[in-house]
Homo-oligomer: A and B are copies of this chain.
Amino acid sequence: MAKWVYSFGGGGADGSAELRNLLGGKGANLAEMCNIGLSVPPGFTISTEVCTYFYDNNRTYPGDLEQQVDEALGKLEALADKKFGDPTDPLLVSVRSGARASMPGMMDTVLNLGLNDTTIKGLIAKSEDPRFAYDSYRRFIQMFSDIVLGIDLHNFEDVLDSTKRTKGYTLDVQMTADDWKAIAEEYKQIVQRELGEPFPQDPKAQLWGAVGAVFGSWNNQRANTYRRLHGIPASWGTAVNVQTMVFGNMGDDCATGVAFTRDPATGTNVFYGEYLVNAQGEDVVAGIRTPQPINLVAKEANKSDLPSMEETMPALYTELAGVRETLEKHYREMQDLEFTIERDRLYILQTRNGKRTAAAALKIAVDMCNEGLITKAEAVNRVDAASLDQLLHPTLDPKAEKTVIGKGLPASPGAASGKIVMTADDAEAQAALGERVILVREETSPEDIHGMHAAAGILTTRGGMTSHAAVVARGMGRACVSGVGEIHIDQRAGTVTARGVTLKLGDTITIDGSAGEVMAGEVPTVEPELSGDFNTLMQWADEIRRMKVRTNAETPTDARTAVGFGAEGIGLCRTEHMFFEGDRITAVRRMIVADTVDQRRSALAELLPMQRQDFVDLFQIMAGHPVTIRLLDPPLHEFLPKTEADMEKVAEVAGVDPQLVKQRAAQLEEMNPMLGHRGCRLGITFPEIYEMQARAILEAVVQVHKETGATVTPEIMIPLAFSREELDILKALIDKVAEEVQQSADFDMNYLVGTMIELPRAALLADELAQTAQFFSFGTNDLTQTTFGISRDDAGHFLPDYINANVLETDPFVTLDQSGVGQLVKFACEKGRGARSDIKLGICGEHGGDPASVRFCQTAGLDYVSCSPYRVPIARLAAAQAALEAREVDA
C-alpha cells in the first residue's frame, strides 16, 4: 500500500529533510526539526505524490488517502492532547502548501481550521479570551471563504470597514470581543448569501475542503506563471501540511518572531531577529506595530529603545539561542526561522536557508568553512557568483531615497553621480578641475573616448547593450545606462528632460548602471570594499576550477585591473579599440579614405609603431600569461565620422577632397553592417591592414624579448571566418610577416594563429577550420546574433515581449542559449578536437562572465573563459562551481 501521509511531532517524524521531493521544503524541514528534537507543533504532510495523482486522475484522490489522513489525524490528536471538533478543547490546525522549490506567496494557506459555532466555545473557555477566539473565528471564515469557497474577499472587507466606520474605530485593535462576534456572524451570512448554503461546520469537511484548495492552487494562474519564470516543472506538485495551530496572540506570555542565525545583511556571526509580544506572525510583517529586537546585540545595532526578548523573556531567549545553535550545526547553513511562543512555550514553526546580501553570503561561507562547519567546496558553492558584481562596483545606498526619471538598459554596472556635461571636451575640462561628471549624449562615437574616460558615468538616449557607449564603458569600468528613450536631450538649450523633470547642464544626476535607472540629483552611493574573505574565497575557487579565466582587454588600465582581479591572460584584445584613441583615428581615417594601396600602406605605416607599443605594453603587463589578439573586426565605416562637418575635417587632415570622404563614406555604407564587410573579410580584401597588425604584434614580441628577456607566445586571432580557405590565406600572410620579422631581428619566436567561431558555418565546418586554426575562441555574441537571426542592437523592439510571452526564458545575449547556440558550440568543440587534439578552446563573448554560461562552457569542455575585467572574479567563482558540479555528475 502506498504511503501518502507522513506524520511529524512528539520528538520524531515519518519523514526527514531527505524527503524534500516528497514532502516539499516546508514539510521536510518540519519533519527534520522533529527528528533533531526541536519543539515543533505536531502535524502531518500529505505528499506531493497525492498532488500528482490528483491531476492525473481528474482531481480525485487515491482510495486509501482518507484512511491515512484519519490515522494521521488520530496520532495528531494524541500528541496535541486535543480532539478535532471537540466542543471543550478543540484541535485547530493550519493547512499550508509546500512545494519542493520555494514559491513564496504563490499558493494558499488556511489557518485556525476546526473552528465552528460549537468549538468556538471550547476555544473561549480554554483561552479565557473571547476577543481572541472570535477574532480567530472571523479570520478563519474569511480565509476559508476566499480560498476554499471562492467568495470574493471584498465582501468581507466591506463589512469590516463599515463596522469600523460605524463604531468610529480606526484600528482593528479597537474591535471588542462582541464586535468580532458580530463580524463572524455577518461573515457567515455572506457565505449563505453568496453560495445559498451555510458556512461548513463539520471540521472534517473543512479539512478536506482546504486540502483540495491547496492542491488546486498548484495550478492557479499565479503559480503557473511563477513556475514558468523559475523553471519549476508542473509535474513536481505540492505537498499539503496540516499542523496544530499555536497562538502567539493569546496574551502577554505569548509572542511570535522571525530570526536569522547570522546577520543577513553583513554575515556577522550574531543571532539576529525581531519579535512581537501577543501577536500573530502576520503582525510582524504588517508593520502596524514596531517589532522588537530579539537580543541586546540587535538592540544596539538598530539603536532600538524597545526591550529585547533577551531582556523580557530571558529563559525563552536562551532556549531560542539553543535552537539557533542546533539548527546551524545540523543544517550547516545560515537559517531563517519562524517561532511562536504560546503561554511561555516555544515552538519553531519553520526553518529554511536564509536569504542574504552578497557580502553576507561571502562572509558566512568563509566563516563557516573556518569554523569547520562546511568544506571549502561547499563554501565556494554557497556564494551566488553573479552576486559578486554587487561587491565590485559602487552601488546606490539602499537606504537612500531616489527619484527615477528614466529607465534604460543596464549597459555597464555600478552607480555614479555627477554634474551633467554634454560633450566629451566639457567632460574632460570639468574633470580636470576635479568635478565628477556624467556624460549625457544621444549616443557616443569614437571621438568621445577621452570624455568617457574623464566621466564617472555615461548616459545615452539611444543604442543598446553593444552600442559604442556600452562596450567602451564596460571596458573602462565606467557606469553606463544606454538607450533611455524617454529622456529628451536638447543640446542647444543644454537641458535634459524626462518624466516632467528638466535638468540643466551642471545639475547633478545619478545613474545606476546595474539597474539601468537614471535619478535626478545626487543619490548617495556605497563604495565597494573587497574584504579578505573575498580573496580567501577566490583562492579556494582557484584551487577547485579546471577552466582558466582570461579577460577581454586592450588598454593597459583594463589589463592591469583584470590582473588585479585574477585574470590569467587576455582572451580577447580588440585591436580596433586601439584605433579610436588620440591621433590614431586620424591615421585610421586616412587609411580608409585612401584611393590606392600605396596611400593605404603609408597611413598604416604611421599606425605601426603605435600598435606595436600597444602590444609591448600588454605583453609586459600580462607577464607571461597568454594574450589573444584579434585582428581588425568592425566594418571600416565605423571609423568614419557621421556629420558633414566632421567629414570635412577628416578630408583636411587627410589632405583629400571632402567630396571624396563623403563618397567613400557613402560607398562603405551598409544595410546590415553586422553581416557586412568586416572581420577577416577586411583581411582578404585589404591584406595590408592585417599585415601591419601582424607585424606590430610580432615586432612587439621581439622588443619585449630584447628589453626584458621574456618570451611571449602571442595568439593571433582571425575574426568572422566561415571557411578554412580564409584562414589559409590569412595564416599564409601572417607566416610571411613572421618570416620577415624573424629574419630582420635574427630571432626565433613562437606564435599561434587561430580563429573566432562566431558564425554558424564556422561551427558546422569546425573540423575543416581546425586544420589551420591552432585555437578557437567562441564569439558567442555574434554567434547568438546569427543563430537566432537577431541583431542585438535592434532586439529591444521585441525581446521584452518575447521574454514576457515566455518564448525565451532569458535574454540569449546575457545567458548562452544552450539548446541552439550551445549545440553549435559543442559540435564545434568535438569537431575541432577531433581534427586537432591539442586545439585550445575558449570563449570571449560576453557570456564568458555569466555564471550559467560558464557552467555550460565547463560541460562543453572549453579550456578557458574570457570576460570583461570586472567580471573576472565572477567567472573564477562560476568556473569553480561548474567544476564542482561536473565532479558531482562524474561521481
Contacts and interface: CB of A to CB of B under 8 A. Distances in A.
Interface of A: 668, 670-677, 681, 684-685, 720, 722-723, 725-726, 729, 758-761, 764-765, 782, 785-791, 793-794, 797-798, 801-802, 805-808, 817, 819-821, 823-824
Contacts of A788: 722, 759, 761
A807 B761 contact: no
Contact of A786 (B681, B723, B789): B789
B782 A789 contact: yes
A331 to B, nearest CB: 39
User: Top 8 nearest A-B pairs by Cβ distance?
Assistant: A675-B791, A672-B791, A761-B820, A677-B797, A760-B760, A759-B789, A671-B793, A676-B794
B723 A824 contact: no
Contacts of A761: 787-789, 817, 820-821
A284 B758 CA distance: 57
Contact of A726 (B722, B791, B807): B807
A794 B675 contact: yes
Contacts of A787: 722, 759-761, 764, 786
Contact of A790 (B675, B797, B823, B824): B675
B673 A808 contact: no
Given A674-B675, A675-B794, A760-B787, 9 more contacts: A672-B791, A675-B791, A677-B797, A684-B805, A685-B801, A725-B806, A760-B786, A760-B820, A786-B789
A722 B794 contact: no
A729 B798 CA distance: 15
A788 to B, nearest CB: 5
Contacts of A793: 670-672
- Which one of A723, A758, A761, A764 has the greatest number of beta carbons of chain B within 10 Å? A761
B671 A674 contact: yes
A611 to B, nearest CB: 23
B807 A684 contact: yes
Contacts of A791: 670-672, 674-676
Contacts of A785: 675
A490 to B, nearest CB: 15
A551 to B, nearest CB: 25
Contacts of A758: 789
A544 B725 CA distance: 38
Contacts of A821: 761
A671 B786 contact: no
Contacts of A764: 787, 819-820, 823-824
A805 B671 contact: no
Contact of A677 (B759, B782, B798): B798
Given A675-B675, A725-B807, A805-B684, A819 B765 contact: yes
Contacts of A760: 760, 786-787, 789, 820, 824
B759 A670 contact: no
Contacts of A672: 672-675, 791, 793-794
A672 B675 CA distance: 8
Contacts of A765: 819-820
Nearest to A725: B807
20 contacts: A671-B673, A671-B791, A672-B672, A675-B789, A675-B794, A676-B791, A677-B797, A681-B797, A684-B798, A684-B807, A722-B787, A758-B789, A759-B787, A761-B788, A761-B820, A761-B821, A764-B823, A765-B819, A786-B786, A786-B787
Contacts of A824: 760, 764
A759 B761 CA distance: 12
B722 A820 contact: yes
Contacts of A726: 807
B722 A805 contact: no
A375 to B, nearest CB: 39
Nearest to A823: B764
A797 B801 CA distance: 35
Contacts of A819: 764-765
B673 A729 contact: no
Contacts of A806: 725
A649 B364 CA distance: 67
Nearest to A807: B725
Contacts of A681: 797-798, 802
A805 B788 CA distance: 30
A723 B805 CA distance: 12
Nearest to A668: B797
A765 B806 CA distance: 17
A674 B793 CA distance: 12
Contacts of A782: 789
Contacts of A729: 805, 807
Nearest to A726: B807
A786 to B, nearest CB: 5
Contacts of A720: 789
- Which one of A675, A782, A802 has the greatest number of beta carbons of chain B within 10 Å? A675
Contacts of A789: 674-675, 720, 722, 758-761, 782, 786
Contacts of A670: 791, 793-794, 797
Contacts of A671: 673-674, 791, 793-794
Contacts of A797: 668, 670, 676-677, 681, 685
A779 to B, nearest CB: 10
A135 B782 CA distance: 68
Contact of A685 (B668, B684, B798): B798
A785 B674 CA distance: 11
Contacts of A668: 797
A139 to B, nearest CB: 42
Contacts of A677: 794, 797-798
A329 B817 CA distance: 64
Contacts of A676: 791, 794, 797
Contact of A684 (B675, B725, B802): B802
A820 to B, nearest CB: 4
Contacts of A798: 677, 681, 684-685
A54 B126 CA distance: 112
- Which one of A729, A782, A787 has the greatest number of beta carbons of chain B within 10 Å? A787
Contacts of A759: 787-789
A671 B802 CA distance: 20
A681 B764 CA distance: 26
Contacts of A684: 798, 801-802, 805, 807
B675 A807 contact: no
A430 B309 CA distance: 98
A819 B673 CA distance: 25
A674 B584 CA distance: 33
A798 B685 CA distance: 7
A681 B672 CA distance: 18
A788 B817 CA distance: 19
- Which one of A668, A789, A802, A805 has the greatest number of beta carbons of chain B within 10 Å? A789
A808 B675 contact: no
- Which one of A672, A674, A676, A681 has the greatest number of beta carbons of chain B within 10 Å? A672
Nearest to A727: B807
A713 B312 CA distance: 81
Contacts of A807: 684, 723, 725-726, 729
A281 to B, nearest CB: 40
A790 B802 CA distance: 25
Contacts of A817: 761
A632 to B, nearest CB: 14
A403 to B, nearest CB: 26
Contacts of A675: 672, 674-675, 785-786, 789-791, 794
Nearest to A467: B671
Contacts of A801: 684-685
A858 to B, nearest CB: 21
Contacts of A805: 684, 725, 729
Contacts of A790: 675
A823 to B, nearest CB: 5
A843 to B, nearest CB: 18
A670 B758 CA distance: 22
A497 to B, nearest CB: 15
A786 B684 CA distance: 20
A227 B806 CA distance: 53
A888 to B, nearest CB: 28
